[in-house]
Structure 1
Amino acid sequence: MRQTLLTSIVCASLLPAAAWAQTQTVTGRVTGPTGAALPGVTVLEKGTSNGTSTDADGRYRLAVPTSATLIFSAIGQTSQEIPLNGRSVLNARLQDASTDLSEVVVTGSRATEGRSNILTTAPVDVISAREIKAFAQTDVSQVLTYVAPSFQSSRQAIADGTDFVDPASLRGLGPDQVLVLVNGKRRHNSALVNINGTVGRGSVGTDLNVIPTASIKRIEVLRDGASALYGSDAIAGVINIQLKDDSTGVTSTGYYGQTVESDGKTEQVDINVGIGLNKRGFLDLSGQLLNRGYTDRSFADRTPLIYLGSGGAYPASANTEEARRALKAQDDALVAANGYDRRNLRVGQSATRNFGGFLNGAYRLGRGYEVYLSGGASYRTGKGSGFSRLPNQATQSDLTIFPNGYLPFINTTIYDQSAIVGVRNTFGGFAVDLSNTFGRNELRYDVSNSVNASLPQGPGIVNPMDFYAGRLAFLQNTTNLSVSRRFMDVGPLASLNVAAGGEFRYDNFLIGKGEYASYINGGRRINGAPTASGAQVFPGYQPQDEVNKGRTNVAGYLDFESDITDKLLVHLAGRAERYSDFGGNVSGQLGARYSILRTVAVRGSIGNGFRAPSLQQRYFTNTSTQFISGLPNQVLTVNNDNPIVRNSFDDPSQRGFGVGSLKQEKSKNYSLGLTSSIGRTFTLTVDAYQIDIRDRIVLSSQFAKSNPAVTPPTIVDQILAGRDVSRVQFFANAVNTRTQGIDIVANERLPLGENSRLTLTAAANFNKTEVTSFNSTSSTINNDQTVGTGNLQNTLFDRQQRTRLEYGNPRSKINLSAAYTRGIFGVEARTVRFGEIRSADANPARANLDQTFSAKWITDLTLNAQITKQIGLAIGSNNLFNVYPDKIYVNPRNDPNNFSVDPNLSYSSSLDNSNRGRYLYSANQFGFNGAFYFARVSVSL
């Protein structure tokens, strides 16, 4: 933090000692799409009430500071915001509101003035505040999933912290390969690292859902690699959330909905207030309360034995069909006598409650200086279940407390804070912006309705059922200085925008231990067999897990954008970075757009990018309980610096896998596209892309100890000797991948009379990610000659992990939508096709358990009415036709009524844990809540 402060002081001292900018009179003319004058247009200085209107010839005159931004607006026209940048003459051309399809965007370029999203060198989606509120979705990740085909996020179940922080993907890549900005400034990541069997396993993403939708003016999604512009993480693209900047008015919405199964109750109340600051600035305040209930789409537990046997399986003594039938009958009698509910699992979204607030403001101090501030805070609690512990699983239970088994819960509390402060001015024609961005995310774990089975049990002993299991925290502070200027008629160039800047960033990651009882091994044994350590479902972080690590990063960048001619736009960017923990990187990008015809253009880009290994990936370590083939395992996740990972097996004094330290992922991005604007109402963009990633960081598959009763000790047994775990996993630059795809977006807006309009959109993304090769410099792994699937090379990234990476997200998504308005009434309809996904077993011998889950169409519908100018009503549905994903098929050999099968099968698979959760919760296209109905009332004052 001391270095951050020092950098801020140094950057401030570099500001040019230019004369103070003064207020000036600006003049101009406003015209319509045909070039005709527009009288009566309001010209307003942004953030103030200082304004005027155009005369009969469309001309205006207004006194404003040289750094002001002017807003041009009129009934029936689309508003425009144009920075003055010291000019004394500023003309504007407005488009008809019913036909404007080319929103001005700022993401993907450092030009002083934004361009239409069909005039940029890279594809950018723009999601307006109206679209965010149009349908049933209430949080940012779900809004983007249904609006932007290239974006995918689905809520996970039974996945520890990932139940509460949705992993998100852009263009089929990982959650940590998309950069999130707020008001153009880098946003901090979540503290959570996804270590369970979900999409995005091993990644660290950004929690989009802490930002209230009421605070968002629009979202810009840049679908192109942008590391040369913004630095690490922007391999797949950039999501820039622009906050509202209103200076007047109050808007508020109330929302209620639930599923067709009468669960998943969702209540939301939000408010947004715009305040003018004495004609010199604005303050926009937003708040949100969101309460979401859990859903449960589980099925009856198909485990043959609930009370008898071991772990639900038939004992070896029941070796005949008659014996198994008799034992099953006894067990069924106990189930009936004790009122045991075989629907003993929750498969669905977790319950959560979120309180959040955001602010965005700016104020002119005089002499051209403007200070700005934005930020927010949120407090979110959540409750999600694990797998149920059966009455016959004594090594994971305290039968004096839970004679009929139990369902343990993970309870999370997520704290998130952020703040952006900055000052900007214009010196000698250069726009100078100095800012500091702070962000912190903390996730606290508590476990309830659980036990530490290793603690002593018996009369007079009261064991805890609730545990504090520890916390994760991530902090980021970024100081940035940028300078830009637009030059006109520079030699043969029609225009040249030059931007340069520097950045200093500090990151910190922390793991705090849980209470003693949450992780201790109390030493209890049953018939000589050890019992499970720590709180069941989530053992607490141990003292040896505690981490408090930081790093710094220094970066500098240059950016040039030029209209070489009226037809050719060229963009060139370069960035150099230096990290204190692993070294440096240089990225570059070249983009261009060429107009073949007035209405048709080609665009494309080529560049290289990178992603720095996150601190979470470098230093995370813990022990967790994970169910594999229906049985609980204590899984150790160790950080990359641990001797288990780093030391080579060749050293007789050490036993480790010999894996090298983490380094940055490196990418090469290629894109080529076509844009077309036909007439005044139709636009089409088609963009193909290829992204090659080298040294991609993944969480390895789990290296398991051998069963000494079956096989002799292995290398893994020696490495894990003396540790109370059965499996180990770690992070490594293990694979190289190639992602190819195409994005298609078509829009049509048709005026159907004075009071009606129809908007049609068709958008699609088709993508394919493939693992092209594997990386391993480990002599231990490379020289392992174990025969069969136990080979360490096969385990480093097994077929289950590969399938999840390649097929865990839909390889295609199609969005068809229509919005019709007539007078005060409106209809919004949308159907989204989520493409197929696949799952696979880690063991090739169990390939019969692999499954493809077919594509599904999900249809949303909203009916709305603007009752008065102040009050609007809407009712509608998400998943109107109650569509569910495919169920996990039951292995025919696991038919519970067929007692002649091999009793060692235990009626389980690695995919569905005894068939208790019949929907694929580890990867899914759109969740499994079914139809959801809602009503919303909006008030504007």
Structure 2
Amino acid sequence: MKKILLTPLLAVVALAAHAQKVTVTGRVLSTTGEAQPGATVLERGTTNGTATGANGEYSLAVAPTATLTISAIGFATQQVPVQGRTRVEVRLAASATDLGDVVVTGSRAAIGRTNVLTTAPVDVISSREIKAFAQTDVSQVLTYAAPSFQSSRQSISDGTDFLDPASLRGLGPDQVLVLVNGKRRYSQSLVNINGTIGRGSVGTDLNTIPTASIKRIEVLRDGAAALYGSDAIAGVINIQLKDDSTHTSASSLYGQTTQSDGKTEQVDFSTGINLNHRGYLDLSGQFLNRSYTNRSFTDTAPLIYLGENGGNYPASATTEQSRRDLKAADDALVTQRGFDRRDIRVGQSDSRNFGGMFNGAYQVGAGYEVYFFGGASYRTGRGSGFNRLPNQPAQRDLSIFPNGFLPFITTVITDQSGTVGVRKTLGDYAIDLSNTFGRNNLNFGVENSINASLPQGTTNTANPTSFYAGRLAFMQNSTNLGLSRRYTDVGPLATLNVAAGGEFRVDNYVIGQGEYASYVNLNRALPTGGFAGAGSQVFPGYQPQDATNRTRTNLAGYLDLESDISTRLLVHLAGRAERYSDFGGNVSGQAAARFSIIDALALRGSVGNGFRAPSLQQRYFTNVSTQFVSGNPQQVLTVNNDNPLVRNDYTNTTQRGFGVEPLRQEKSTNYSLGLTATIAQQFTLTVDAYRIDIRDRIVLSSAFTRANPLVNNILGTQAVSQVQFFANAINTSTKGIDIVANERLPVGSGRLLLTAAANFNGTEVTSFNSSSSTINGDQTAGVDNLQNRLFDRSQRTRIERGNPRSKVNLAASYTIGRFGVEARSVRFGEISTADPNPTRANLDQTFSAKWITDFTVNVQLVKQVGLTLGVNNLFDVYPDKIYVDPRNNPNNFSVDPTTSFSSSLDNSNRGRFLYSANQFGFSGAYYFGRLNISL
């Protein structure tokens, strides 16, 4: 009886389930139109699938909102939304190279295109390439995989030691937009104020995303502000998360340098979960422990204990004999107290990172699909500053550190992000509503240090040796609504995709003050005159007047049109309008096209304008830091652009200032022209030239000193000796060309993949913006002229030649059976540095190009377990050594015999720094092993 009753009930349920589905038919072809029998057609997130027949035909019943996953051996997998259609024809591109991958970045069309079929160049870095070598974080993976992308780790640069500044096409970290699954990623809270690449900019911390969570990375090398909004001047990096419902993988890596430091331990995993055949959930996690490297050398200061600031001989030692006697006495103290003259760390910092991501979607019925993704990370870091010698009275407390000390900056960086959205197809329309939240919080601490202005003495307990120095935080919340429709046979047009939508975004920036002891100045007088340095040595805490909490909103709308005018001509038009609550609005547009000359050869190009809004960090960051010049403390004020010191005109007798205008948006004009070629589905070539002109580029000015009488009057009685601020100071023009070639060759029983890629670029500062009468009217001679100080030759060289002007990537991969080898060699082009003072141009230096070669061997031990052994920087290559005074050259530095050097340079270096160039770091050869498990 139960069986009789259940049978009709089951039949009703089955009919209802079937009624919610549509039968999709179609063909799977190659890009040249050849039928692909045996291809797999799968409803994503389910086990519902079929295989194509002899003529490439298939038929499959799926949900109207389903996405089809089509794959075939030797071809790139495609993801195709059904969107209620009953027939879907798919052309698969050969997977000989990553160029064959279908990309979605740079277009809002419903169906993706391979990147040789797009109007703009897009690099695709697959999950296989991400794991091929020993780079363990996203910024380093991109540096070695994408020639137009550049990032290297910094040393002794405060917070920049822990957040790697990155560049695309030679532009700044804040001129590239980062997306995750097509949604805007929030920026980091830190603004780079030290003398590194990206000085004055605010980037996005790519390294919060575990590499195990990434399906692929798409790098759009074209201005895209009209598509995605502010920041996309150089291009867009879109990180696509894994969306697997069945696969589980894990890996473990261990490695270190040949100098037995830089030890790296990494464990990660990724697992896909099928959600009742109606969706999927992919979970990924990573633990990464990275130890410091140290490439410093012996401190050559003449005197460690008995000298003056910087280890110099005191003025009282006027004879050669007195100097010898003082030197002998000091050497005896060095030996007696066991002082280690290798007293500084130069290299990457310590870092430990715990991170996880999730990505999922679920069909809730009535054609609605809910999707969600996000993650969290917790990262700690520890990096050194400059050491303090026991002979430096303004910085020491001999009762605590009788032999001087090496202070450390510690950081705790936490990130949280989450996106939730809903998609639905209504007839021919696709609607997407989502909300994305992200937050970055950076806490600063100081260890093994003192505040030298506090009372000293063996009975004193008021001077701590560790400090909480404050925090930075940035939060962003974006709400997006998108509507699109794909038309076919619209008059003379083969297809027309129309997309429109809007975004409302809220940004918030916070500076939190440090503890009292980290910033207080009790003006402890020195016996020799003057005062001791204030605040915790190496990183004074943020003061109460630095604390801020600022919020702004942004409202934007866009329209996007893409049409196959014919089978040979693709045209893309986009426009976007935005308005910020704190400085105004902007309208940007772009026109792009691709024309197939023949099936295997096409031209593509674009022209458009873009913009970048000044970040909240640039608008409101302020602090006072202590910098030591020849051993004497200098209080340097970094002041926000709204401060009266910056804004008000010097001619105003009641409130004097530099007269600099309020920060405004950067504006850009982008041009690109390229060629794509595909031969026999084995060889692909793309060549794309570009030009990017930026007006009113925001930079952090050089430091203005009291040596200029106007600056002295502006600073007045403030307890600072230097001041720097943000301004729209320069206009630049960047020109370059990207070349990417790939080929797949059968070699014996195996397969050989070859890749050659290159980027050549150059940025020029075309003009300066002098917005104030003070700067224009200053008649002070030489380097202290305010116009020269606004953006000095050191800063200009960093913009123009601080990043490699060329990068070449050659890679080969050979697989045969269970074995494989991969080799990659990257040529990092030359870079240059310059002294701020044009009278000391002899201190300028150009660092030559270098090749860095990586090599790995991998074997599949069993079906589920693989082993990879390899080496990065196989030939142990280092950058060129810096110039030093040939009179003080104990460590065999390279020396230009025509160069003369000032004593101040020798005192700041003191033989400890061999390398300042940072094209690719200076850690040397690195060996590693990785165990891979796949279930």
TM-score by length of 1: 0.94
Shift in CA distance, 511/805, structure 1 to aligned 2, threshold 3 Å: same
2:615 is aligned to 614
Structure 2: gaps spanning 5 or more residues: 1-18, 892-899
Q: Is the 8 A contact 2:193 2:700 kept in 1?
A: yes
Superposition deviation, residue 367 in structure 1: 1.4
In 2, the alpha carbon distance for the partners of 1:621 and 1:688 equals 40
**Which of 709, 712, 720 is the matching residue for 1:714?**
709
Secondary structure at the counterpart of residue 246 of structure 1: coil
1:409 is aligned to 408
**Which of 772, 775, 783 is the matching residue for 1:781?**
775
Secondary structure at the counterpart of residue 889 of structure 1: coil
Alignment length, in residue pairs?
907
Q: Where does 1:524-543 land on structure 2 (aligned, <5 Å)?
A: 524-527=524-527, 528-543=529-544
Secondary structure at the counterpart of residue 394 of structure 1: coil
Secondary structure at the counterpart of residue 794 of structure 1: helix
Q: Is the 8 A contact 2:645 2:714 kept in 1?
A: yes
Shift in CA distance, 911/40, structure 1 to aligned 2, threshold 3 Å: farther
In 2, the alpha carbon distance for the partners of 1:322 and 1:911 equals 22
2:642 is aligned to 641
Q: Which amino acid aligns with 1:222?
A: L
Q: Is the 8 A contact 1:908 1:915 kept in 2?
A: no
1:661 is aligned to 662
User: In the TM superposition, what whole-angstrom CA distance separates every residue of 1:287-328 from its partner, at most 9, and x where no partner exists?
Assistant: 000000000000111222222222122222334444434433
In 2, the alpha carbon distance for the partners of 1:882 and 1:176 equals 32
2:7 is aligned to none
Shift in CA distance, 770/915, structure 1 to aligned 2, threshold 3 Å: farther
User: In the TM superposition, what whole-angstrom CA distance separates every residue of 1:171-211 from its partner, at most 9, and x where no partner exists?
Assistant: 00000000000000000000000000000000000000000
In 2, the alpha carbon distance for the partners of 1:154 and 1:910 equals 26
Shift in CA distance, 715/425, structure 1 to aligned 2, threshold 3 Å: same
Q: Where does 1:324-723 land on structure 2 (aligned, <5 Å)?
A: 324-462=323-461, 463-527=463-527, 528-628=529-629, 632-706=633-707, 714-723=709-718
2:762 is aligned to 768
2:732 is aligned to 737
2:863 is aligned to 869
Shift in CA distance, 386/566, structure 1 to aligned 2, threshold 3 Å: same
Shift in CA distance, 628/172, structure 1 to aligned 2, threshold 3 Å: farther
1:728 is aligned to 723
In 2, the alpha carbon distance for the partners of 1:100 and 1:34 equals 18
1:120 is aligned to 118
Secondary structure at the counterpart of residue 128 of structure 2: helix
In 2, the alpha carbon distance for the partners of 1:846 and 1:911 equals 16
Q: Is the 8 A contact 2:436 2:478 kept in 1?
A: yes
Q: Is the 8 A contact 1:697 1:735 kept in 2?
A: yes
Pair 1:153-2:151 in alignment: yes
Pair 1:889-2:883 in alignment: yes
Q: Is the 8 A contact 1:888 1:912 kept in 2?
A: no
Q: Is the 8 A contact 1:469 1:513 kept in 2?
A: yes
Superposition deviation, residue 75 in structure 1: 4.0
Q: Is the 8 A contact 1:99 1:750 kept in 2?
A: no
User: In the TM superposition, what whole-angstrom CA distance separates every residue of 1:679-708 from its partner, at most 9, and x where no partner exists?
Assistant: 2210111111110000000000001123xx
Superposition deviation, residue 813 in structure 1: 0.5
Q: Is the 8 A contact 1:302 1:907 kept in 2?
A: no
Superposition deviation, residue 56 in structure 1: 4.2
User: In the TM superposition, what whole-angstrom CA distance separates every residue of 1:687-732 from its partner, at most 9, and x where no partner exists?
Assistant: 11110000000000001123xxxxxx71222222322222111100
Q: Is the 8 A contact 2:94 2:100 kept in 1?
A: no
User: In the TM superposition, what whole-angstrom CA distance separates every residue of 1:655-681 from its partner, at most 9, and x where no partner exists?
Assistant: 221111100000000111111112221
User: In the TM superposition, what whole-angstrom CA distance separates every residue of 1:227-279 from its partner, at most 9, and x where no partner exists?
Assistant: 00000000000000000000012100000000000000000000001000001
Superposition deviation, residue 99 in structure 1: 6.9
Q: Which amino acid aligns with 2:506?
A: Y
In 2, the alpha carbon distance for the partners of 1:326 and 1:668 equals 66
Which 10-residue stretch deviates more, 268-277 or 32-41?
32-41
In 2, the alpha carbon distance for the partners of 1:671 and 1:628 equals 46
Q: Which amino acid aligns with 1:777?
A: S
TM-score by length of 2: 0.95
Secondary structure at the counterpart of residue 423 of structure 1: strand
**Which of 277, 298, 301 is the matching residue for 1:300?**
298
**Which of 794, 798, 802 is the matching residue for 2:792?**
798
Superposition deviation, residue 66 in structure 1: 1.7
Pair 1:834-2:828 in alignment: yes
Which 10-residue stretch deviates more, 29-38 or 831-840?
29-38
Q: Which amino acid aligns with 1:887?
A: K
Structure 1: gaps spanning 5 or more residues: 1-20, 707-712, 898-903
Superposition deviation, residue 55 in structure 1: 3.5
1:257 is aligned to 255
Secondary structure at the counterpart of residue 841 of structure 2: helix
In 1, the alpha carbon distance for the partners of 2:440 and 2:99 equals 37
Secondary structure at the counterpart of residue 60 of structure 2: strand
In 1, the alpha carbon distance for the partners of 2:776 and 2:305 equals 45
Shift in CA distance, 34/360, structure 1 to aligned 2, threshold 3 Å: same
1:59 is aligned to 57
Secondary structure at the counterpart of residue 331 of structure 1: helix
Q: How much identity, in percent, do the aligned residues show?
A: 71
Which 10-residue stretch deviates more, 561-570 or 713-722?
713-722
In 2, the alpha carbon distance for the partners of 1:631 and 1:92 equals 70
Secondary structure at the counterpart of residue 93 of structure 1: strand
In 2, the alpha carbon distance for the partners of 1:159 and 1:506 equals 30
Q: Is the 8 A contact 1:625 1:632 kept in 2?
A: yes
Superposed CA RMSD = 1.8
Q: Is the 8 A contact 1:909 1:915 kept in 2?
A: no
In 2, the alpha carbon distance for the partners of 1:629 and 1:571 equals 58
Secondary structure at the counterpart of residue 909 of structure 2: coil
In 1, the alpha carbon distance for the partners of 2:356 and 2:213 equals 8
Q: Is the 8 A contact 2:97 2:753 kept in 1?
A: no
Superposition deviation, residue 646 in structure 1: 1.1
Which 10-residue stretch deviates more, 21-30 or 270-279?
21-30
Higher relative contact order (CA 8 A, sep 6+): 1
**Which of 806, 812, 823 is the matching residue for 1:812?**
806
**Which of 895, 911, 916 is the matching residue for 2:912?**
916
User: In the TM superposition, what whole-angstrom CA distance separates every residue of 1:4-45 from its partner, at most 9, and x where no partner exists?
Assistant: xxxxxxxxxxxxxxxxx9531111223456645444332211
User: In the TM superposition, what whole-angstrom CA distance separates every residue of 1:92-150 from its partner, at most 9, and x where no partner exists?
Assistant: 23355457842111001111111110111110000000000000100000000000000
1:853 is aligned to 847
Which 10-residue stretch deviates more, 577-586 or 843-852?
843-852
Superposition deviation, residue 632 in structure 1: 4.8
Q: Is the 8 A contact 2:269 2:284 kept in 1?
A: yes
Q: Which amino acid aligns with 1:539?
A: P
Q: Which amino acid aligns with 2:216?
A: R
Secondary structure at the counterpart of residue 141 of structure 1: helix
Which 10-residue stretch deviates more, 233-242 or 778-787?
778-787
In 2, the alpha carbon distance for the partners of 1:910 and 1:548 equals 42
Shift in CA distance, 911/673, structure 1 to aligned 2, threshold 3 Å: farther
Superposition deviation, residue 522 in structure 1: 1.8
2:11 is aligned to none
In 2, the alpha carbon distance for the partners of 1:400 and 1:69 equals 70
Q: Is the 8 A contact 1:912 1:918 kept in 2?
A: no
Superposition deviation, residue 53 in structure 1: 2.6
**Which of 224, 227, 232 is the matching residue for 1:226?**
224
Secondary structure at the counterpart of residue 443 of structure 2: strand
Q: Is the 8 A contact 1:352 1:383 kept in 2?
A: yes
2:4 is aligned to none
Q: Is the 8 A contact 1:874 1:935 kept in 2?
A: yes
Secondary structure at the counterpart of residue 694 of structure 1: strand
**Which of 183, 186, 201 is the matching residue for 1:185?**
183
User: In the TM superposition, what whole-angstrom CA distance separates every residue of 1:364-422 from its partner, at most 9, and x where no partner exists?
Assistant: 01111000000000000000000001111111111111111100000000000111110
Shift in CA distance, 413/731, structure 1 to aligned 2, threshold 3 Å: same
